[in-house]
Amino acid sequence: MWKKEIFNVKNLTRLALVAAMYTALTIALWFMSYGGVQYRIAEVLVLLCFYRKDYAPALIVGCLIANMFSEMGLMDIVFGTLATAIAVIPMYHVKNIYLAALLPIVSNGIIVGIELTIAFGTPLWINMLTVAFGEFVVVGILGVAVFKLIFEKRPAMLRLIGSTRGTQKVNESV
């Protein structure tokens, strides 16, 4: 992807909207986005990185802003955002959307699980399992279904998100 393609007005607008959507969804659904058992619906958006790698900075920024509203404070701002970065940066290079969905499940399960143990003194393995389960439901089930059933079935939707993966390549990777 060329630098001029990344920094054009249309793409920057797209990235800003994704960061804003992630932040707004997380904060609007705060009661299920933070805490020990979390179903952060905004995490569906991380799968955009499977289709176009420059969504990663937008999602990292959106997560960082959303984590500023977390009761865990600076720890969540730093480490919760790090968990998202670890998941989204390599996602474009994964060849299968199901495997791509595992990245946020594992990174958030481990890192946010450790955060919750430090913040609240609850058992590590329970925290890891509950966070990973929430990610599995949101990203692994809901997110994969949305992208497979809505985006991949309609080439116009892939163009809308600016996918740099061809529909043939995406469908063959399953």
Output the 3-class SS for 99-149. Answer: HHHHHHHHHHHHHHHHHHHHHHCCCHHHHHHHHHHHHHHHHHHHHHHHHHH
Give the per-residue pLDDT at 165.
83
Are the C-beta atoms of 157 and 114 separated by less than 8 Å? no
Positions of the chain with pLDDT under 70: 1-6, 166-174
Measured torsion, CA atoms of residues 102, 108, 110, 112, in degrees rounded to the nearest 10: -170
What residue segments make up the domains of the chain, in order of their start?
A: 3-167
Within its chain, how far is the Cα of 45 from the centroid? 5
CB atoms under 10 Å from CB of 112, counted, come to: 28
Write down the residue that tokens 């469908």 correspond to.
171
CA nearest 47: which of 105, 1, 5, 2? 105
Give the per-residue pLDDT at 174.
39
Q: What is the architecture of the domain spanning 3-167?
A: Orthogonal Bundle (1.10)
Measured torsion, CA atoms of residues 149, 153, 155, 156, in degrees rounded to the nearest 10: -60
Joined tokens for residue 100: 């791509």
Give the per-residue pLDDT at 84.
98
As a whole number of angstroms, the distance between CA 46 and CA 25 comes to 13
Joined tokens for residue 53: 């790698």
Give the per-residue pLDDT at 168.
44
Helices vs strands, H then E, count in the chain: 12, 0
Give the per-residue pLDDT at 20.
98
Give the per-residue pLDDT at 3.
60
Q: Is 28 exposed, middle or buried (0-12, 13-18, 19+ CB in 10 A)?
A: exposed
